[in-house]
Structure 1
Amino acid sequence: MGEARGSRELKGFISGLRIWMRGYQDWVDLDTQRYSARFADQDANDQGAWKSIADGRGLP
Structure 2
Amino acid sequence: MELVALLAGEPFSDAPTCTDAALATIARVVNDETSDPARQTLAPPAVDLNSVSRFL
Larger radius of gyration: 1
Q: Counting helix residues as a fraction of each chain, which structure ranks higher?
A: 2
TM-score by length of 2: 0.31
TM-score by length of 1: 0.29
